[in-house]
Amino acid sequence: MANLLLQDPFGVLKEYPEKLTHTLEVPVAAVCVKFSPRGDYLAVGCSNGAIIIYDMDSLKPIAMLGTHSGAHTRSVQSVCWSNDGRYLWSSGRDWYAKLWDMTQPTKCFQQYKFDGPLWSCHVVRWNVCIVTVVEEPTAYVLTLTDRQNAFHCFPLLEQDQDISGHGYTLVACPHPTIESIIITGTSKGWINAFQLDLESGFEDKIRCCYEEKIANANIKQIIISPSGTRIAINGSDRTIRQYQLIVEDNESEGGSSHSVSIELEHKYQDIINRLQWNTIFFSNHSGEYLVASAHGSSAHDLYLWETSSGSLVRVLEGADEELLDIDWNFYSMRIASNGFESGWVYMWSIVIPPKWSALAPDFEEVEENIDYQEKENEFDIMDDDNNLQAMTEAEEIAIDLCTPEKYDVRGNDISMPSFVIPIDYEGVIIQQHWAHQEQ
Amino acid sequence: MCDLDSVSDLTLTLRMLQFDKQVLPASGKISTSCQISPDGELIAICQNTDMLVYEISSSKMMKLTTTHKECINCLCWSPDSKCIASGSEDFTVEITHIIYGRIRRLMGHTAPVISICYNNKGNILCSSSMDESIKEWHVLSGTALKTMSAHSDAVVSIDIPKFDSSILSSGSYDGLIRIFDTESGHCLKTLTYDKDWIAEDGVVPISTVKFSRNGKFLLVKSLDNVVKLWEYTRGTVVRTFLWPHQETKAKLKYNCGLELIYPQGKDPLVISGNDSGSMCVWNVYSKNLVQKIDEKHRNSPLISISASYDKVATLSLNGECNLFRVH
C-alpha cells in the first residue's frame, strides 16, 4: 500500500522476511494458521475446536467463529479463506467441514458431516472445497451450488478408475492458476492429478490426467508455487521433492483437457539429523524460495532454501520450540508459524528502519561523508518569473483523484477492495458491563 | 482562473451545489463539527457536550448525550455508520454507538483533542491533540496502541485514506504536513510550504488535511486561506486554489471547512469556507472557480464541511447547519 511507496525501496523489496517481530499468545493451542488473502487477518484453528481471527493491524483478536452456534467440538485441522476474504472453510477432527461467512462470524453458515475425522480442506472457489478424510481412498469435492441448498459432496475420482493400490488420500492441492486441476497425494506415495468440470460440477465429468508413485512413503503435503510452475511434495521419508510442474492445454472436442507432468528439480533432506519436515511453503510468483519447519524437539527454526540452486539461504530463528504449520502472506510479507509446545503463533516480518531524513524535508541521509562541491547555479537568485513559470507548469499536469492503484509496490494485485470483518459492538458492550460491575 | 464577477450569470446555470434544506438554525451553542455518515443517511452535529443526529430522509433529530466534561471539538463516523467518535476539550475521546450508547472512553491525551479519524476497518481510531501528539486506539479493547510525536505544535488535522489504512497524514500549527506509517508509527515524509523558514511572521499554520479518494493526493488548507493539492509521494504541489479577490495575507482564526466532492460522471470538486460564512467551489482538475455561495451562513465563520455521495453538510460557528445537494 501507500506506506511502501514512501519507504526505502531496498527494504520493501526484500524477498523474504528475516526477523521474528510478533508473538501471538493464543489462549488455546493453535493447530493451523492461515492469513486472509490480503494479509490483514490471520485465522488460527485451535486444538479445542475454536477458530480465532486475529486482526493484523492491532495484532488482537477481532472475532471468534461460532460463539453463538456451530463451532467445531474437536481440534481444527485446517482452515482456508476464499479469494475475496469473505468466506472461510474449516475442517475438524469432529468429522465436520464447515463454511463460515465473515459477515456473521458468530454462526456457522453451512456444514457437512463426513464418516471420519478430516485432514484438510482446500478452497477452489468460495463455494467449492476439496476435503481429505481419514482412511478414505479418495479426496472429496464439497460444493454449495445454491445458497439455500445444502452441500453436494462426491469423491474426487474418475469413473471406473482403479485406485486399489494407492492407499488412502491424505492431502490435496488445487492448482493456483488453473482452478479445474486438483493434485492429490496418498499414503502409499501416489500422486494423482484430476480435472474437474466446475461449471456443471458432476461427478462423471472428473478426469484423471496424471498418476504416478513417487515414493514409498506417506505424502504429507503438496504445495504449488503461486505461478503454478513448481510443485513440492513433502513425504514421510524425510524428503521434500521439488519438481517442475508442466500443465499442457489440449484443445479437443467437448472442451479443453489438460495433461499434467512433473520433472524432478531437487530433493531436500536433513542428512545429519534425519529430521522429517512438518510443513513446507513456497514464496511468491514462481516459488524462488521454499520454507519448511522441521519435526522433532531439537529443531526450533524455519529453514529457507533457494529453489533454483537448492541451497539453504536463511534460517528464521526466534521461536524456542518446534514449529508446525506455516503460512506466508505476500501482501504483508509475513510468515506465521505455530509452536508445538506453547500453541502460540510466531510471525516473521521485514523490518524497515526509520528514515530520520523523513522528518526534515531538506535533509538527506548519506552513507559516508561527501566532499561538498558547490554547483554552478546553486545559490543563484532565481527570477520570480522563472519560479512562477515552474510552478505553473507543475500545476498543469493531468491528475486523477479517483482511480486507485491496481498493484502494490511488490506487484500484488490490489484492485479488489479487501473484505472487512464487522465490528462486534455487542461484545464490547458486554465487556464494558463487566468492567463496570467490577468497579 | 476565471473571475467570478464576470461570470456570475453563468455560474447560476452551472451551479454545482444546490441548497436543499436547513438542518439546524443558529442556536448560539458551541458547535464545531458536522459530519455526514459514510452511508449518506445521517448527519451528526456536536453542540456543547451533546451530539445531534439528523436523519436526512425523515428530517428527524435525535439527541445523544456524552459524558464529556467540556465542549466537543471534533466528530468522526465509524466506516460502518454505526458509531460516532467525539474528541473533546476535556482531553478525552468517546465512542458512542447510535443505538447502544457509549461504548468507549479513551483517556491519555494531555490537552484538548482536535481531530479524530478511523481506519478503514473501523477497529482503530486515531486522535490528534494540542499536546502535539497523535494516538492510535484499539476500539474493541479501549487501549492505546501507540503514540506518534513528531510535531512541535498542536496537531489540528489528521486523515487516513478511505481504502488504505497504511498511512496517516497530519497537519499542525508548526506549519508541517507529515505522513506516518500507521503500522510502525514512523514518519515517512514531511511536506512544507516554507522550506527555508523565510516568511517574516513565522510559518503558516496548517488547518486541514484530506486525502483524495484513491489515496494518491493530499489536499491541504492553511490558515492563510490557501488550499493546495499535493502529490505527496513526490512532494510537489500539483494544484493551488486561491480565494477570489483576497488580499495577499488573509489570516483565518478557524479552519473554516474543507471537503472533496466526487459528482458522478464529472470532475471532482473542492469546497472551502472562510470566516465570513462564504464558500467557494473549485473544479480540482481545471482549478476553475465554479460556484461561490455567500447567502447562507451570513456573518458567522464556517467551521465544518462534510460530504458523502451527493450530499454536503455545512456548519457555521453559530450552530446553523445546512444541507446541499450536488448536481
Q: Can you give the residue ranges of every domain in chain B? A: 1-29+256-327, 30-255
Q: What is the pLDDT of residue A164?
A: 86
Chain-chain contact of A2 with B167 (C-beta, under 8 angstroms)? yes
Burial of A160 (0-12, 13-18, 19+ CB in 10 A): exposed
Give first-to-last CA distance, chain B, whole Å: 22
Sorting pLDDT into bands at 50, 70 and 90, what band is A348?
very high
Q: Using CB atoms, pick whichever of A358, A395, A400 lies closest to residue B189.
A: A358
C-alpha cell at B304: 465544518
- Judged by CB atoms closer than 8 Å, whether chains meet at B216 and A2 is answered as yes
Distance CA A246, CA A238 (A): 25
- Burial profile B109-142: b = 16 or more Cβ within 10 angstroms, e = fewer: beebbbbbbbbbbbbbbbbbbbbbbbbbbbbbeb
> How much is the pLDDT for B5?
47
Q: Which three cell numbers stand for residue A432?
A: 464494558
Rounded to whole angstroms, the Cα distance separating A391 from A358 reads 23
**Bridge-partner residues for B245, per DSSP?**
none
Taking CA atoms, A39 is separated from A42, A358, A410, B318, in Å, by 7, 27, 14, 46
What Cα–Cα distance (Å) separates residue A245 from each residue in A176, A193, A209, A314, A358? 12, 11, 13, 25, 46
| Greatest extent of chain B over all pairs of C-alpha atoms, in Å | 57
Minimal CA–CA distance to A347: which of A79, A53, A27, A33? A33
Give the residue from chain A lying closest to B240, CA to CA.
Answer: A395
Between residues B124 and B27, which one has the greater pLDDT?
B124
Contacting residues of A for B188, CB less than 8 Å apart = 3, 6-7, 355, 358
**Looking at the predicted structure, is the pLDDT value of residue A275 above 90?**
no
In angstroms, the separation between the Cα of residue B205 and the nearest Cα of chain A is: 17
Tell me the per-residue pLDDT of A206-236, one tens digit each, with 9 for 90 and over: 889 899 999 999 999 999 999 999 999 999 9
Amino acid, single-letter form, for residue A348: W
Q: What is the pLDDT of residues B252-296, one digit of tens each?
A: 888 899 999 999 888 999 999 998 899 999 999 999 999 999 888
Taking alpha carbons only, the member of A153, A148, A188 closest to residue A168 is: A188
B232 in Cβ contact with B238 (< 8 Å): no
Residues of A within 8 A of B125 (CB-CB) are none
Fold of B30-255: Methylamine Dehydrogenase; Chain H (2.130.10)
pLDDT tens, position by position, A3-13: 899 998 888 99
Chain-chain contact of A6 with B103 (C-beta, under 8 angstroms) = no
pLDDT at residue B304 tops 90:
yes
Question: Which chain B positions have a beta carbon within 8 Å of A359's beta carbon?
Answer: 150, 178, 187, 190
Q: Are A402 and B163 in contact (CB under 8 A)?
A: no
Can you give the pLDDT at residue B13? 47
Instruction: Give percent of chain A above pLDDT 90.
Output: 64
Do the chains contact at B100 and A5, CB–CB below 8 Å?
A: no
Q: Cβ separation of B187 and A60 shorter than 8 Å?
A: no
Among chain A residues, the shortest Cα distance to B212 is held by: A401
As a whole number of angstroms, the distance between CA B259 and CA A10 comes to 36
Q: What are phi and psi of B303, to 5 degrees?
A: -130, -25
* Residue A263: Cβ-neighbour burial (10 angstroms; 0-12, 13-18, 19+): exposed
Mean pLDDT to the nearest integer, B23-38: 92
Q: Are B120 and B167 in contact (CB under 8 A)?
A: no
Rg (CA), chain A: 25
A-B CB pairs within 8 A amount to 144
Write down the pLDDT at residue A230: 95
Residues in chain B with CB shorter than 8 Å from the CB of A55 are 121, 123
Average pLDDT on A376-385 reads 71
Q: Is the pLDDT of residue A135 over 70?
A: yes
Are A2 and B166 in contact (CB < 8 Å)?
A: yes
Residue A238: pLDDT over 50: yes
Domains located in chain A, CATH noted: 16-349 (2.130.10.10)
